[in-house]
Amino acid sequence: MANIDWDSLGFDAYRTRTVVFSHYKDGKWSPAQSTETFSFTFDPFAQVFHYAISCFEGLKAFRQKDGGAVIFRPGENAARMARTAGYLGLPVPDADMFVKMCEECIRGNLEFLPPYGHKASLYLRPLLMGMHPQMQLVPYPEAVFAVMCAPAGSYYGEHLKSFSAVIPGNYDRAAPKGSGSYKIGANYASTFKPYKTAHDQGYTELLYLNSGTREFVDEFGSSNFFGIRGNSYITPLSDSVLPSITNKTLQEVAADFGMTVEKRPVPVDELDTFEEAGACGTAVVITPMSHIDMKPVLEEETVSRSFRFVPDGTVGPVCTKLYNRITGIQFGEVEDIHGWCHHVDL
Ligand code: PLP
Ligand code: COI
């Protein structure tokens, strides 16, 4: 077992033991290999460098209460990567290969799989990159698919605590009819500058509106948005939002609790009516927001509106209940009635 303080893990690019990879060339994937040097050979003309032909996934493996190891809903991530790869014109690792390479990555890095009882997991990061050296703007079926991992605790530094977000009036995440619903690296590149500015101002997250009319809530830079009003779980329906597997899971969990699930456009004005609101995703799990400010220009001081949900740092009862249920299933403390946990033979 690695010498790690499992309780204080954040979300970092940790150097573990191995990365598993396969190369697609001449119509087929090479047998999966592991590298302990973490080094690949790239042609400097490879598409990934010039045209950002790259996409990734994020999923977690858990050591459960009974000692077993599981991956949470890996088939969903495999399907989402296949959809994204199709968008980029990249060869698609099929679901069987995707899941097997994730399992191989866990087995090769077993000492980094956090023991049960620390609210920590092994975050798996499958990455697919266009490797063909070319200048033309055309897809080409040559790629590397690699699965790496990192032990992960809380994305924002503390579990189940509320943070703040800002709506940056002068930035969009995705173009209308653009690539927002695909998990391509380029979607994240455009968030780095506004994230830096927001963090410098003390905000934790960026909440993006729909870029066309800016009337509706889309999602956070790292995760989906949900709001709670009465007995309803409300989350945006938008073509530009990444279809989050955590959000899909929470919708089912909310329905299990007898809540009404509403997936529909969420007007900005409706933020005023939520009793709780938060971010959801693999990395952030459920992260409640205490308040969300709206700034016409992120770099300037003016806050045009402020939406308050819960006192700073605190967490509402519904977010707590949803968090406990989803993490309870992941850690094997609550019965997995939907069959979401994929058991891994170690
Ligand atoms: N939205 C964005 C932009 C993300 O990067 C993520 C993270 O994967 C999510 C939403 C949440 O998706 P998931 O729950 O599948 O991790
Ligand atoms: C994940 O939750 O898996 C992500 O990919 C989020 C990351 C971009 C911060």
For residue 189, the domain's CATH number is: 3.20.10.10
pTM: 0.98
| Cα-to-centroid distance, 127 and ligand 2 (Å) | 12
122 and 191 in a common domain: no
pLDDT at 322 over 90: yes
194 and 97 in a common domain: no
Cβ 130 under 6 angstroms from ligand 2: no
- pLDDT value for 41: 87
Residue 84 near residue 182 (C-beta atoms within 8 A): yes
pLDDT in tens, 226-244: 999 999 999 999 999 999 9
169 and 148 in a common domain: no
95 and 174 in a common domain: no
Active site residue 183: yes
pLDDT-based confidence at residue 185 (cuts at 50, 70, 90): very high
- pLDDT value for 224: 98
Choosing from 161, 183, 196, 248, the catalytic residue is: 183
131-142 burial, b for 16+ CB within 10 Å, e for fewer?
A: bbebeeeebbeb
pLDDT at 39 over 90: no
| Cα-to-centroid distance, 135 and ligand 1 (Å) | 31
Nearby residues of 213 by Cβ (< 8 Å), 6 or more positions away? none
User: What's the rounded mean pLDDT across residues 132-147?
Assistant: 96
Q: What length does the chain have?
A: 346
Domain boundary among 90, 119, 152: 152
Q: Which ligand is nearest to the Cα of residue 218, counting in written order?
A: 1
| Cα-to-centroid distance, 15 and ligand 2 (Å) | 18
Mutate to test the pocket of ligand 2, among 222, 241, 280 (most ligand atoms within 8 A of CB): 222
Domain boundary among 94, 129, 152: 152
d(CA 200, CA 196): 6
Domain containing residue 310:
163-330
Cβ 194 under 6 angstroms from ligand 1: no
Cβ 282 under 6 angstroms from ligand 1: yes
Cβ 221 under 6 angstroms from ligand 2: no
User: What's the rounded mean pLDDT across residues 283-307?
Assistant: 98
Q: Is residue 339 part of a domain?
A: no
Match 């790292």 to its residue by tokens: 222
Cβ 288 under 6 angstroms from ligand 2: no
Cβ 332 under 6 angstroms from ligand 2: no
- pLDDT value for 2: 86
In total, how many domains does the chain have? 2
Closest atom of ligand 1 relative to the 282 alpha carbon: 16
Cβ 246 under 6 angstroms from ligand 1: yes
Residue 174 near residue 27 (C-beta atoms within 8 A): no
CATH classification of the domain holding 38: 3.30.470.10
User: What's the rounded mean pLDDT across residues 262-275?
Assistant: 98
294 and 174 in a common domain: yes
pLDDT in tens, 210-225: 998 999 999 999 999 9
pLDDT at 1 over 90: no
Mutate to test the pocket of ligand 1, among 222, 285, 327 (most ligand atoms within 8 A of CB): 222
pLDDT-based confidence at residue 85 (cuts at 50, 70, 90): very high
Residue 34: closest CA among 14, 7, 16: 16
pLDDT at 324 over 90: yes
Q: Which ligand is nearest to the Cα of residue 284, counting in written order?
A: 2
Residue 90 near residue 141 (C-beta atoms within 8 A): yes
pLDDT in tens, 142-168: 999 999 999 999 999 999 999 999 999
- pLDDT value for 133: 96
What is the chain's percent helix, strand, coil content, to nearest 5?
A: 25, 30, 45
Closest atom of ligand 2 relative to the 282 alpha carbon: 2
- pLDDT value for 96: 98
